[in-house]
Amino acid sequence: MSLTVVGSIAYDAVKTPAGERERMLGGAATHFALAASFFAEVRPVGPVGDDFDEDSWRILRTRGTVTDDVEHVEGGKTFFWKGEYSANLNQRETHITDLNVFETFSPKLSQASRDADVLFLANIQPDLQLNVREQCTRARFVAMDSMDLWINIAHDSLRKVIGTVDCLILNDEELELLTEKPTTLQAAQEILSWGPKAVVAKLGKYGAALYTADGFFALPAFPLHHVTDPTGAGDTFAGGFVGYVAAHPDEEIGHELLARAMAYGTALASYNVEEFGTDRVERLTADEIQSRVADLSRMTAFTVDPVALRT
């Protein structure tokens, strides 16, 4: 039950209708690790700079996450992102992307990270994803994220790494962009023909959908009164989803297990957006997660009624 994630560890400056933060711990690997740490021993792989402070190390190590492969680049600065969300949170504008230590990042995995049962390739340049993928030869489940940038400028590399993973997790519009298909169902089926056994379409505030050879499964997002900060919601979802798989080493990884994993990803993501950055998931409890998964089950269940229809 060991889980390696490669991806960004960052400082974020975020402005949302709920408020503003000048500098807080963020990054895909960070949000993923905080969520996945409920399910497995997580090993994030990614670079940080001299400015990476004690409090950030402490947060990253929440629930036993092992930071041996978080590489401190001497003289470097940690990846920095600054962005702002629109009034209804549907759109976000990036003001600053300072790659810093990420610009020359070459993933170095310890033997323990290479031996992981489960691997998540967060959104980084596809060639780096492939490099890490090829080092982790013992993984029984490999999932990956990406983004429109790589679809547009590194399409061939992206196709290549997708062909080596078990599950692709992407926004519905990115799935359609990647495959040039008009519906998410067609896009997902095309990707299933490239190698992956599962495709997860992230639908933002509308939830997420799972596509496998055995069918389709979908969950709404958990309904929230207030959304404070959507940053990291997708990676937190992935952390719950992939983490859940890692927590079930003796179960066959099929449609039914992945559907349950979706519920955990959805629950984790809903907590993440309630507060800025890592604040909420850092202090989240196992009971809170289980309670929200049970709520989701109730909120989507209905009985099929053999009502007599007119003809």
Token pair listed for 43: 């090993």
What is the C-alpha separation between 198 and 254, in angstroms, rounded? Answer: 9
**Cβ–Cβ < 8 Å for 288, 271:** yes
Out of 21, 260, 275, 282, the only residue in the binding site for a second copy (CB under 8 A) is 260
The residue type of 286 is A
What is the C-alpha separation between 236 and 278, in angstroms, rounded? Answer: 10
Secondary structure class of 186 (helix, strand, coil): helix
In the range 164-183, which residues lie near a second copy by CB under 8 A?
Answer: 176, 182-183
Q: How many residues bind a second copy (CB under 8 A)?
A: 60
Provide the pairing of β-strand 208-212 with 19-26. Answer: unpaired
Strand partners, 43: 4
User: Nearest approach, Cβ of 211 to a second copy (angstroms)?
Assistant: 8
Token pair listed for 289: 């997660």
The answer to whether 28 contacts a second copy (rule: CB under 8 A) is no
The answer to whether 304 contacts a second copy (rule: CB under 8 A) is yes
Out of 43, 63, 114, 280, the only residue in the binding site for a second copy (CB under 8 A) is 63
Out of 262, 265, 270, 272, the only residue in the binding site for a second copy (CB under 8 A) is 262
**Cβ–Cβ < 8 Å for 121, 134:** no
Out of 136, 209, 245, 281, the only residue in the binding site for a second copy (CB under 8 A) is 209
What is the C-alpha separation between 175 and 278, in angstroms, rounded? Answer: 27
The answer to whether 15 contacts a second copy (rule: CB under 8 A) is no
The residue type of 246 is A
**Cβ–Cβ < 8 Å for 94, 80:** no
Out of 71, 195, 216, 249, the only residue in the binding site for a second copy (CB under 8 A) is 216
The answer to whether 213 contacts a second copy (rule: CB under 8 A) is no
User: In what side-by-side order are the strands of the sheet with 79-85?
Assistant: 19-26, 10-16, 79-85, 92-98
The answer to whether 86 contacts a second copy (rule: CB under 8 A) is no
The answer to whether 305 contacts a second copy (rule: CB under 8 A) is yes
The answer to whether 152 contacts a second copy (rule: CB under 8 A) is no
Out of 97, 104, 152, 300, the only residue in the binding site for a second copy (CB under 8 A) is 300
Token pair listed for 11: 């400082």
The answer to whether 252 contacts a second copy (rule: CB under 8 A) is no
User: Nearest approach, Cβ of 308 to a second copy (angstroms)?
Assistant: 8
Chain residues binding a second copy by CB under 8 A are 17, 37-40, 63-64, 87-89, 176, 182-186, 203, 206-207, 209, 211, 215-220, 223-227, 244, 247-248, 256, 259-260, 262-263, 285-286, 289-290, 293-294, 297-307, 309-311
